[in-house]
Structure 1
Amino acid sequence: MRKRTLLSLMALAPVVSACGFRLRGAPSFPFKTLYVQAPEGSPFTREVLRNLATAGGNLTVVLPPAKPDTAEATLQLLGERRQRIILAKTVSGQVREVELRLFARFRLVDQQGRVWLEDTELQQKREMSYSESLALAKDEEEAMLYRNMYSDLAQQLLRRLSAVHAPVDE
């Protein structure tokens, strides 16, 4: 039985590798040092810094009080905002379903002030049901969804940073 399973897996191995599937792996950035200019205490800033620290590769992150000109590029986290939109109400006017939205803006410039990435806004949305009788549990669920969205946005930002190219001088 085990031999048959092993043989069938070996037969499928070329098919799986030929489909183009490949694990994402560690990102490689087109710069060696990155200065992060961001608001302190922001959940998005914490998540971006955590993702940069665990990204691996050859990237060195420079933080204040160091000067921005000590790094090849500067990531400017311009802001974030949350929205909570009511999608549905019951006949009696109680909230039944809400949509949570999270927006984050950033840009990337180099030492000479050339813009590598223009102001970019990333966004995430999540829908959740709501019940007044379960308000405490729903508040916890909302906090968990926001943490998840911050993590997703930080990962999107890292993928954008790894795909960016230096601006061409004109």
Structure 2
Amino acid sequence: MTRATRRHLLLAALLPLAGCGFELRRAPELKFRTIQLANFPRRSPLADELRMNINASTTTLVVEGIAQAQVVLEAIEDVREKVVVASGAVGQVTEFQLRERFRFRLRSVNGRELIPETEILQNRDLSYTESAALAKEQEENFLYRAMQTDIVSQVMRRLASVQTY
């Protein structure tokens, strides 16, 4: 098979995909230009990911002061929990439940409530064995990051639903 023939076959195989409408997911377009993130715990990974996602949008920027902000996303609760759900006959833990809870509200700078107090709760089960403690710690970190990413996605969709501020 010649080089030209191979190129034509490849082009023919890719041609049906050209009009499929596939597009990479991008940050939703928010209706306000500036937002302040308030009352988050110091060094909150959730706040960091939220800031990164908002700044990735083409329309909105996170600002530090309320003087520059059009709206304020106020964190009421940003908590990670780890609860024992099962233990063996000798009291050794065999399963945990990981939870990430985020409660927030969105208001305009003049105090008008745009999103009332809302809670997003994620939880995941994590089996545990002492012989694989290091691997389970890494799995726990992975699960917390996955829950955090899901919460940020939900918050971004809710922010995008705000029409007026």
State the TM-score, normalized to the length of structure 1. 0.77
Q: Which residue of 2 aligns with 1:9?
A: 14
In the alignment, residue 12 of structure 2 is paired with which amino acid? L
Q: Which residue of 2 aligns with 1:70?
A: 68
Say which is worse superposed, 131-140 or 110-119, in terms of deviation: 131-140
Equivalenced residue count is: 159
Tell me the secondary structure at the aligned position of residue 163 of structure 2.
coil
CA contact (8 A) 2:75 2:104 kept: yes
In structure 2, list runs of 5 or more residues that go unmatched. Answer: 1-5
CA contact (8 A) 2:31 2:59 kept: no
Q: Which residue of 2 aligns with 1:36?
A: 37
In 1, the alpha carbon distance for the partners of 2:126 and 2:115 equals 33
In structure 1, list runs of 5 or more residues that go unmatched. Answer: none
Give every structure 1 segment of 4 or more consecutive aligned residues whose post-TM-superposition deviation is greater than 6 Å.
none
In 2, the alpha carbon distance for the partners of 1:44 and 1:165 equals 24
Using the aligned pairs only, state the percent identity.
Answer: 37
Aligned equivalent of 2:120, options 119, 122, 129: 122
CA contact (8 A) 1:38 1:45 kept: no
In 2, the alpha carbon distance for the partners of 1:8 and 1:137 equals 43
CA contact (8 A) 1:73 1:108 kept: yes
In the alignment, residue 162 of structure 1 is paired with which amino acid? A
Match runs of 1:103-122 below 5 Å: 103-122=101-120
In 1, the alpha carbon distance for the partners of 2:81 and 2:11 equals 51
Shift of 1:129: 1.9
In the alignment, residue 108 of structure 1 is paired with which amino acid? L
Aligned equivalent of 2:156, options 155, 158, 161: 158
Instruction: Mark the CA change 1:148 to 1:9 in structure 2 (over 3 Å): closer, same or farther.
Output: same
Tell me the secondary structure at the aligned position of residue 12 of structure 2.
helix
CA contact (8 A) 2:27 2:54 kept: no
In 2, the alpha carbon distance for the partners of 1:47 and 1:134 equals 29
Deviation string for 1:99-146 (max 9, x for gaps)? Answer: 211110111101221111011111222222210122233223212322
Q: Which residue of 1 aligns with 2:3?
A: none
In the alignment, residue 8 of structure 2 is paired with which amino acid? K
CA contact (8 A) 1:45 1:77 kept: no
Q: Which residue of 2 aligns with 1:46?
A: 48
State the TM-score, normalized to the length of structure 2. 0.79
